[in-house]
Structures are given as C-alpha cells and as structure tokens.
Amino acid sequence: MNQAAVAGIFIVAMLGIMGIGVPMAFALILTGAAMAWGLEFWDTQLLAQNLVAGVDSFPLLAVPFFILAGELMNAGGISRRIIAMAQAWVGHIRGGLGFVTIGAAILMASMSGSALADTAALATILLPMMRKHGYPIHTSAGLIASGGIIAPIIPPSMPFVIYGVTTNTSISALFISGIVPGLIMGAGLVLAWKLEMRKIDLPGGTPLPMPERLRFTGKAFWALLMPVIIIGGMKSGLFTPTEAAVVAAVYALVIAFFVHREMKLGDLHAVLVRSAKTTAIVMFLCAGAQVASYMVTLADLPSTLASWLGPLVESPRLLMAVMMIVLIIVGTALDLTPTILILAPVMLPIAQKAGIDPVYFGLMFVLNGAIGLITPPVGTVLNVVAGVGRLPMHEVIRGVSPFLIVYAVILAMFTAVPQFVTWPLAWLR
C-alpha cells in the first residue's frame, strides 16, 4: 500500500472514530490498529508493547506530580492567597478585577502548569466576584479562560514535559523558552482588557493602605516562593524537571498542611483521587498516541508530509506560517495533549530540515495548541469556565473573542520575528 493510501487511512480513521464520539485515547489506539491492518502489519502483541512504551518514560513522572501540586494548591489555599494579594495591589483600579485575574493567572501558571486547574481555580473565585461588582459576565468569563491558557507556556508546564518526551527535546530549555512569551501573553491581555473597559462604565475603588497591601503579600509569601524554588532549582542544576515536579508537590503539601493549615488529613484522599483521575487520562492518551505514532513512523508518513511541504523548506518563516495555520485548524477539533502526541513527531523533523530551532518550534507548537484550548467548537478551557460559571457556551465564546484576537496577533508576531523567542531564550540560558 502506498504512502498516500496509508495517510488517507490515518486521516479517515481518526476523523471518523472521533466523529462518532469515541474518547480520544481509544480513537488513537483504533487509528493505529487500522493503519496496522492497512500496512498488513497486524500484531496484537506489538500494539500492546507500544501501549506500555507510551508511558514507560522517566520524564513523564513529572506529569502526575505537577497535577498533584496543582490540586494541593487549590485545596490548600495557595491559589486563594495569590488572588487576594493581586486584588490588594490592583483591585481598586477601574476594571481592577480583570487585572487581578491576569496577575493571578501569571503567578499560578508559574506553579501548576495546568490550564484546566488554573482556569477552574480562577473561575471559582473570581467569576462570582465579577458578577457581584457588575462586570459583564461574558467578558469576564472570556478573560478568565484566556488567562488560564498562560499555564502551558510559563514553566513549569505539563505540555512542555509531554512535548519534550515525545520529540526528545530538552525540557529544561523548553521551560526557559516560555518565560518571556508567557509574560508577553499577560501584557497582551492587559491591553485587550483596557480596551474592553473603555466600553463599560465601572467605578474605581479606594486603594488599600500600604500596610494592608504588604499584609496580603506576606500571606502569599510561601506561594510566591514556590516558582522561585522550582525555576531556580532547575536553572542551577539542583534538580531536573521531573525532580522539580516532586519538589513542587511536596512543597505544596507541606504548605497546605503545616503553614496555611487549610487541609486536614481527611481532605488528602479526595485530592489524591482527583489527581489520579486526571493523571490516568493524560497517561492513557500518551499510551494510545504511541500506538498511532509507531504506525505513522512505520508508514514513513513524515517523509510524505515533508514531500508536500518540501518547496517551503527553503523559506523557514513561510514554512512556520503554514504549519501554524495547520495547527490552528487542528486545534479547533483536538485538545492540546493529543495534538502534541500526534503531530509534533511528524512536524519537528521538517522544521529542523528547514533550519528552525527545535526549542523555538516547540514553544510555538505548544502556544498554538494552548490557543486551541479557547477556540470553538471544542475549546476545553471554554467548557471549564462555562461549567464553573453555569454559563451558556455561546456567551463564553463571545467573551473570549477579543482576547483570542490578541493571542492570534502574538502568534503571528512570534512567527514573523522568531527573535522575540530566541533572543530571551539565549539570554536566559
């Protein structure tokens, strides 16, 4: 069977199986099985071996520990203290709760690395406050969703861990590459929120006295120390990204139990169960993706894609632009993790052939996929905000639109001028 026919099987099987509502992990396994049948390479033992190989990776141990750290942050009062500190400093400004959302999103992103966990925490605490103070609920929901997707970019980032394992790219370099782009995303949200506030008549508040601001900052001290320990430890070589995940989880546990004392021993069971469920979903996706990825490699589909994109290899920026457009389209239907697992191993070799820095490409790939989390119709983060705020999906989509435009501009800017990513990366390294 020629490569075009195998590529057709891959696309038709994936879209068809997803279209009838089969969960993504099973869709990946069935797609791999369909390709094995098409290649006349059917072997159930081989499929089982690839399922195991998909999760048999030491760096992937970072995933359950970062998930656990995020759950402990929310249960142990760390997230709430960060939001309270941000409100103490900027809550009095006209539209201040929006700036609180952005500041809290950036700080929480530097601790958990999970868009869904951060978004759920922000929506749970801030949406009722914004509703109470007369903020337009659709715009508020859109801002919270947009702030939540900074988490996959600023380290520690679970998508960077998965991308690094899948493509054999340095996870530490990926973490460092996300610092400046994540801050630029936050600055873009600030600009967009200011423009939105010009259309809305909201009163300002009275600034808190400096002692009160410092008191709230002091309460958040242990939370603010967490990213310093994680990033500083990795940068100094004290521990690897995988070990950093363990440090983050243990640190969050100690703070929740012995410093903030907002968790009891009986609460730990529920936290562990939630973390285990989320970990199982991510790991099963990795296992299923390995089955499909093995068959994609066996069919040499990367060479087929390279032949299609071959004329663009001589123009790296044009190639990047085309790849970003493809990923935007894919992101409307696929979640971030399966997008990484399916397409990153296929696209990265082509990017490298064009001379594109693999770390820069990884940052752009994850950034594009993160934007897909707030892109309808799937938009996983949109669903989280709609569920927590009990809002109709069309209202959240309407509210996220101006922030989605800002992110599209940032993505285009990074594509046209890679130095926005590569120069800070070289300096931070």
What does 242-297 look like in DSSP terms, one character per residue?
HHHHHHHHHHHHHIIIIIS----HHHHHHHHHHHHHHHHHHHHHHHHHHHHHHHHH
Does residue 54 have a pLDDT over 90? no
pLDDT value of position 6: 67
pLDDT value of position 251: 94
pLDDT value of position 429: 67
Closest CA to 129 of 190, 70, 87, 78: 87
* Residue with the larger pLDDT of the pair 117 and 164: 164
Residue 40 region by backbone torsions, left for phi larger than 0, else alpha for psi between -120 and 50, else beta: left
pLDDT value of position 171: 93
Mean pLDDT estimate for the chain: 89
- Residue 346's pLDDT band, with cuts at 50, 70 and 90, is confident
Does residue 15 have a pLDDT over 80? no
61 and 245 Cβ atoms separated by less than 8 Å: yes
Q: What is the DSSP letter of 310?
A: G
Rg of the chain on CA atoms, in Å: 22
Does residue 392 have a pLDDT over 80? yes
- Give the pLDDT mean for 161-172: 93
Does residue 25 have a pLDDT over 80? yes
Does residue 122 have a pLDDT over 90? yes
pLDDT value of position 253: 94
Q: How many domains does the chain divide into?
A: 1
pLDDT value of position 3: 63
Most distant pair of Cα atoms in the chain: their distance: 74
Domain around 379 = 3-428
- Residue 100's pLDDT band, with cuts at 50, 70 and 90, is very high
List own/partner pairs for 293-296 with CB under 8 A and 24 or more apart: 293/32, 293/166, 293/341, 293/342, 293/345, 294/32, 294/46, 294/50, 295/10, 295/31, 295/32, 295/35, 295/36, 295/39, 295/41, 296/10, 296/35, 296/342, 296/345, 296/346
| Total count of residues recorded for the chain | 429
